[in-house]
Amino acid sequence: MITSIGHVVRLARAGYILAREGVFSGVDTSGLPLEMRAPLFLAGLIARKGGGLQRLAPAIARLGPSYVKLGQTLATRPDVVGVAVARELEALQDRMAPFPREVAVEVIERAFAKPLDQIFAEFSEPVAAASVAQVHRAKIVADGKERWVAVKVLRPRIESRFRRDLADMFFAARLAQKFSAEARRLKPVEVVETLARSMKMEMDFRLEAAAASEYADNTHGDDDFLVPKVDWDLCAREVLTLEWIDGTPLWDVEALRRSGVDLPNLGRTIIQSFLRHAVRDGFFHADMHQGNLFLTREGRLAAVDFGIMGRLGMKERRFLAEILYGFITRNYWRVAEVHFEAGYVPPFHPVADFAQAIRAVGEPIHSRTAEDISMAKLLSLLFEITALFDMQTRPELVMLQKTMVVVEGVGRSFDPKLNMWSTAEPVVRAWIEENLGPLGKIADAGQGLAAVAHLAAQAPAILSRGARISEQLETWTTKGLTLAPSTVEALARANASRNRFWRYGFALLLVVVAVHFWR
């Protein structure tokens, strides 16, 4: 109970900050129940002048790094927060004031149990700082050779702060899911779980190093794309060391233009690289904004910061490739069939009705010019249509769609007339031909035979387990289910402890209320 009070107090503070900035001022309360209208009315009373939804990103930034990460996660979920809110959340920048170089040195020396000068010949002041970590440029001298590296150092005490804030968010999400049928459909607990998994991986740099290594292996043969090498000898839970990338950041468009870069071609490279990684490899960079992309002196696109990566299984990759190709070729019936084959839309809906709804999304794009056709917007509209047909939210597909919004924006910043469909078509068509054509069917047949052989090898063990389960069921049916004495005793202790918790908690609450009114 005391823990719940702590959650409520901290969430109330967060709500007050958002209300004070006028974030809730534009909410239409006409269709809301009374218990929701009253808090929104109070929020309107305390809102400062000049506030509004445009103050959402600054307000969340005031709440700290955990809420910045939550905001970035919710920006990938327009199905949960709405398109307007998701667009405002896109403005959240994961930038914070750096912590002192001396603190970073302490973290590194503790991680590797040796002085800094025995690790690096040079170690700079921070060159970039975010909510979880900051980056330093360092020099390594080995065998008479020098090389520059990027050293990412975890912020001190950041984990305890994230644990506390995530506990508050879980409390609020479970409460919403308990009392709201709409919330249960949108799965807020799953949103927070996604954030928690993401943060757990982001705060263990060994996992980020593994992601960078896998990403590098996948893209090894791509002449136009580069992933920095991991220095495994200088990686620890709190420290990540990667090859230093010399290049021009993609946010510096003027510098790129001065260097004579073919900007339209760069835009196409960005789009095709992302689609290639998502469809071919099923593993893509899910934070591909201009700050994480560089153009090297050799003309290769280089990515950094692998804390947020997306992963698609074969079913999702086929789904993505076929729906994109279906829209390109205007084969809406096939797009509808893919949804049903993947099990995303319940089978009681007619395929013909769903194909008709998809045509309503797809046809308008064919009457517009290339620069007006947004692949990301089309996918967003598609997810809105699927909600009408009881399609459950697919977090991996929503993350893909959100990343596509970012990538599409980056590509079009270099070429406003970039034709998304002609750019995507060769990548998608090549994957379909390789995986769904004759060669793909032969490979699928081979995998099927291997699975059958594996199942046959496991058959004796499966039959043995089945026989034991059958005997147990027969015993329970005739004699009932018997609990071990230790289990009964443990249940009794747990029940007594729970009763004491609520008695003492209620008594403590009465004391707090009494003290408050007697002051």
For the stretch 110-139, what's the b/e string if a residue is b when 16 or more beta carbons lie within 10 angstroms of its beta carbon?
ebbeeeeeebbeebeebebbbbbbbbbbbe
CA atoms lying within 13 Å on the CB side of residue 462: 6
Q: Please tell me the predicted confidence (pLDDT) of residue 230.
A: 96
For the annotated catalytic residues, the residue numbers are 287
C-beta of residue 240 within 8 angstroms of C-beta of residue 132: no
Whole-number Å distance between alpha carbons of 318 and 280: 10
Closest by alpha carbon to 159, among 151, 167, 171? Answer: 167
Token readout for 115 is 């002085």
**Which residues have CB under 8 Å from 340's CB, separation 6+?**
347, 351, 354
C-beta of residue 89 within 8 angstroms of C-beta of residue 75: yes
Q: Which residue ranges of the chain lie beneath pLDDT 50?
A: 439-441, 443-445, 448, 501-519
Give CA 23 to chain center in angstroms.
24
Token readout for 408 is 């599409």
Phi-psi region of 238 (alpha: psi -120 to 50; beta: other; left: phi over 0): alpha
C-beta of residue 238 within 8 angstroms of C-beta of residue 273: no
**Predicted TM-score of the model (pTM):** 0.70
Whole-number Å distance between alpha carbons of 44 and 21: 10
C-beta of residue 314 within 8 angstroms of C-beta of residue 302: no
C-beta of residue 236 within 8 angstroms of C-beta of residue 111: yes
Q: Please tell me the predicted confidence (pLDDT) of residue 83.
A: 67
Pairing of strands 247-249, 283-285: unpaired
**Which residues have CB under 8 Å from 31's CB, separation 6+?**
none
| Beta bridge pairs of residue 248 | 295
**3-class SS of residue 286:** coil
Token readout for 226 is 């580069």
Whole-number Å distance between alpha carbons of 188 and 284: 24
Whole-number Å distance between alpha carbons of 433 and 352: 26
For the stretch 181-218, what's the b/e string if a residue is b when 16 or more beta carbons lie within 10 angstroms of its beta carbon?
eebeebbbbebbbbbbebbebbbbbbbbbbbbbbbbeb
**Which residues have CB under 8 Å from 512's CB, separation 6+?**
none
Alpha-helical (H) ranges within 246-329 are 253-258, 263-275, 314-329
Q: Which value, to the nearest 10 degrees, does the dihedral of the CA atoms of residues 36, 81, 165, 26 take?
A: -50
Q: Tell me how crowded residue 40 is: count the other CB atoms within 10 A of its CB.
A: 15
